[in-house]
Chains A and B, each alone.
Chain A
Amino acid sequence: MNNIIQKINQTFTLKAKQKNENQLRVDVDKNLVSSVLLYLKTQLGFIHLNHISCVDWIEDNEFELVYIVWDPENKITVLVHTRIDRSNPVMENIDTIWDQANTYEREMREMFGIEFPGLVGAKEFILEDWQEIPPMRKDFDTAAYAEKTYQKRPGRENARDVREELMKRTGEELPDFAKKYSRD
């Protein structure tokens, strides 16, 4: 573990740190990501790409991308974090390193609107004929959209707190243990 941290830190002058007994985290500049991942894969034996995730930090106007790679020999996971600009999200395409990264990137392009230059694959992956902003962005309001688009069956609008609604209908008292778990 310490060996790996040292190697990453020396090669790229980074600050990798241990998260728990078999995970370590490293924060990387956007331009370095592909070199770090390639180094992890070819030199240190992290040949399995676990996951690529994206988090919308709307307060900072940034997207955080997390690449998770795993070493089957030493059973160690590395989480490579990077942040990109939210107003003009462009990220390097890494599907030449791992082919299945293509799937993640297609999903991120659709769900967050991040562009990956040179990414192969149909524009539509999950959604069909989507006309709003990319739906996984924080500023997209799913409830308002559902309200506007889909017809609701009457009766659901009062059901915000089912217990109160049922109490009103049946005239029963709310039991004491339930009062403890009220919404407010």
Chain B
Amino acid sequence: MTKNPNTKIKTIGIPSEEEIRQAQIDFSPRCSSAGRVNDKETQKMVRYILDFARKHSLFVLAYGTGCGAIEIPATMTSRYDAERFGIRGAATPRQADVLLITGYLSTKTLKRVIRVYEQMQDPKYVIAFGSCTINGGMYFDSYNTINALDRYLPVDVYIAGCMPRPESVIKGFVKLQELIQNGNAGNGECYRKNLDWYRENQQKVIKNWNFPDEYNW
């Protein structure tokens, strides 16, 4: 099997895992400067198709971190039917695209959420749900809940309200789709680049990074 030196993609046969990974990184909009296809128009089209596909299959991680989880069943079921936008649940972080933070985060949950976020694969998006993720909401003076989520995790879309209605949840997802189509969503790489800053903030709140014994990555 020979490689085309210009495209770095095998012309025949099944690509190896390494090459698939490389291709994904290369095709992702944030790494566009390392484009293999020099033709601007082709690049644009490929990116458009990728984003179009991504925005219509948003797998949301089933993790009800707070009381906002009550409006998710309503959003998913018959009246509001979020599945027509391609939004549906995923059981594990490794299959999910969207981490939906449904409400306040206690420090104990924040530790788990950070881990869940780091387990998710790129491209990954975070939607923060409810006033308490924005500025603490009514728990602003609680000793156990964080106030501003974007100090600890990169957030793509905020949905205000306590509780936000299913319409606003769908509106938030549509906004995320818009951002994906424009190539502005997905901060996984930015998070990795600025990991020091995020870690510093996280460690102010989470004193002990160890998990119980039999917990593995």
Q: Which residues of A contact B (CB under 8 A)?
A: 127-129, 131-132, 135, 140, 142-143, 145-146, 149-153, 155-156
Contact = CB atoms under 8 A, between A and B. Distances in A.
A131 B140 CA distance: 20
Given A142-B142, A146-B147, A150-B147, A156 B135 contact: yes
Contact of B141 (A131, A146, A155): A146
Given A127-B108, A129-B208, A150-B147, A142 B141 contact: yes
Interface string B199-217: 0010011111000000000
B107 interface: yes
B144 A152 contact: no
Contacts of B58: none
A90 B206 CA distance: 30
Interface in B104-133: 107-108, 111
Contacts of B108: 127-128
Question: Which DSSP category, helix, strand, loop or mixed, fits chain A's interface?
Answer: loop
A5 to B, nearest CB: 42
Contact of A155 (B135, B151, B206): B135
Those 9 A-B pairs whose CB atoms lie nearest each other, nearest first: A143-B141, A153-B135, A129-B207, A129-B208, A142-B143, A128-B108, A153-B148, A150-B147, A145-B143
A110 to B, nearest CB: 12
A131 B141 CA distance: 18
Contacts of B151: 151
B147 A135 contact: no
Contacts of A140: 143
Contacts of B206: 129
Nearest to B210: A129
Contacts of A155: 135
Nearest to A131: B207
A146 B147 CA distance: 9
A30 B158 CA distance: 52
B31 to A, nearest CB: 31
Contacts of A151: 147-148, 151, 201
Contacts of B142: 142, 146
Contacts, number: 52
B134 interface: yes
A152 B141 CA distance: 10
B146 interface: yes
B136 interface: yes
Highest count of chain B CB atoms <10 Å: which of A135, A143, A150, A156: A150
B148 A152 contact: yes
Contacts of B107: 128
Given A128-B111, A150-B146, A151-B201, 11 more contacts: A129-B207, A135-B143, A142-B143, A143-B141, A146-B136, A146-B141, A149-B205, A150-B148, A153-B136, A153-B147, A156-B140
B208 A152 contact: no
A150 B136 contact: yes
Contacts of A152: 135-136, 140, 147-148
19 contacts: A127-B108, A127-B144, A128-B107, A128-B108, A128-B111, A128-B208, A129-B206, A142-B141, A146-B136, A146-B142, A149-B205, A150-B147, A150-B148, A151-B151, A152-B135, A152-B136, A152-B140, A152-B148, A153-B135
